[in-house]
A = this chain, B = another copy of it.
Amino acid sequence: MFTTVLIANRGEIALRVLRTCREMGVRTVVAHSTADRDSAAVRLADESIQIGPAAPKHSYLNPAAIVAAAVQSGADAIHPGYGFLSESAEFAEICEAHGLTLIGPPSAVIARLGDKVSAREFALSAKLPVLPGGSEPMGPVEGARTAHAVGYPVVIKAAAGGGGRGMRVVHDPGDFARAFATTRREALTLFGDPRVYVEKYLDAARHVEVQVLADGHGNVVHLGARDCSVQRRRQKLIEETPPPNVPAATLEHLGELTVRAARAAGYVGAGTFEYVLDEHGACHFIEVNCRLQVEHPVTEMVTGIDLVREQLLVAAGQRLGFRQEDVTFSGVSVECRVNAEDPARGFLPTPGVIETFVPPGGPFTRVDTHGAPGLRVTADYDPLIAKVAVWAPSRAQALARAHRALEEFTISGPGVHTDLAFLREVLAHPLFRYAKHTTSLVEQMMSTPMT
């Protein structure tokens, strides 16, 4: 096992990773920006290193700073959390070159699966069902031809995109050329890579993803599926497992498909394969996330498996301690993302200073948060303040518990808005309650106010 792990992230996930490291007797070093010097993760770490200013580009996104911090603190491994450098094949290569273990899949796997175009090619070769479209990066003429062939609506996606950014849906062939040009330009600005491709777009779909764990000895298991259909601006708000109202056979099939594909890709570590489920129950592969997901707690709550612990064990070269048949799933878990944002203004992130912060508690209620009185929420980082995850034997009880927990949660301060009330509205919405919702639920709610 590692002696020292450098945590190259911030917020709730830095704390999450730190906790498991401590439980495993691994020393923790938290790399932090000037803005995060008073964070809970820094306070609880064995050592902390200030790696740069608030702007992520010069701190959490700066490979040189992170590697220097790792070398300086004697870390033998780096946990990248999610976001930032967690899916950078280049950073993974740099770590490998410096003799540091980056906790995640090997750089070659990230390079292949992290790029959407090559991931799509891989999926085709691994016989995963994909949406009709063209996986080659293409020009405007070829793009329009593909769009016509698969039929509108289509989505134009940046090859290097992710997290809901760098994609544009086109319903009308007349809009295609402009949308194509805009997405290319955006892709270049956001990711430094103008490549885009075109895919069939599903209006009424569910977002379902499968969690896998793989060791370096060829053992791969899946830890079930999560439904992440409640999204605003293509970013997840509520996640749950198991996906409700989806036949068990479909989920089992997805699990098997995913394990086979992960094995084919030479996957090592924790990863997520994302799919859309159309109204006929057919699955289509979208992308792979080569890292821990924000929503991993729901999987932990129904399986009892600590995903960060498994990440560390596998990264240290150990074999998985269980086989597929040893993984048992119990009950239902739901996670709500509490963000500093204003649903009334299109979920605009709202900076401010938190004065009152009283998170919920109680049975089967887990709160992952770096929130505290005095926390300054800035535009530099993701607006996520807390994840409230609950467990219950049934979905109805889990939703009631989540509702109760959100009701208890008090967050206030000058300038601070949260989506707490909106999350409760989603939990109470009949479409969600009866699991008849799709990824367009939030849009539907915003256009038809509930009465």
Contacts and interface: CB of A to CB of B under 8 A. Distances in A.
Interface string A315-337: 00000000000001011000000
A367 B362 CA distance: 7
A80 B16 CA distance: 36
Contacts of A24: 400
Contacts of A407: 22
Interface in A398-443: 400-401, 403-404, 407-408
A23 interface: yes
A99 interface: no
A281 interface: no
A361 B372 contact: no
Given A22-B407, A330-B330, A407-B22, A393 B304 contact: yes
A306 interface: yes
Interface string A14-44: 0110011011110000000000000010001
A25 B400 contact: yes
Contacts of A358: 40, 372
A407 B358 CA distance: 21
Contact of A363 (B20, B44, B361, B408): B20
Contact of A300 (B305, B363, B369): B363
Contact of A369 (B328, B361, B366, B397): B361
A364 interface: yes
Given A304-B331, A304-B393, A19 B400 contact: no
Contacts of A305: 393
Interface in A339-362: 358-359, 361-362
A18 to B, nearest CB: 9
Nearest to A367: B361
Dominant secondary structure of chain A at its interface with chain B: mixed
The number of times this chain is found in the oligomer is 2
B372 A368 contact: no
A403 B23 CA distance: 8
A398 to B, nearest CB: 10
B330 A364 contact: no
B362 A16 contact: yes
A209 B367 CA distance: 31
A23 B401 contact: yes
Interface of A: 15-16, 19-20, 22-25, 40, 44, 297, 300, 304-306, 308, 328, 330-331, 358-359, 361-369, 372-373, 391-393, 397, 400-401, 403-404, 407-408
Given A23-B400, A330-B330, A361-B368, 20 more contacts: A15-B362, A16-B362, A19-B361, A19-B408, A22-B404, A23-B401, A23-B403, A25-B400, A40-B358, A297-B363, A300-B364, A304-B330, A304-B331, A304-B391, A306-B363, A308-B363, A359-B361, A363-B366, A364-B366, A366-B366
27 contacts: A15-B361, A16-B363, A19-B361, A19-B362, A19-B363, A19-B365, A22-B404, A22-B407, A23-B400, A23-B401, A23-B404, A40-B358, A297-B363, A300-B363, A300-B364, A304-B331, A304-B391, A304-B393, A306-B364, A361-B366, A361-B368, A361-B369, A362-B368, A364-B366, A365-B366, A366-B366, A373-B373
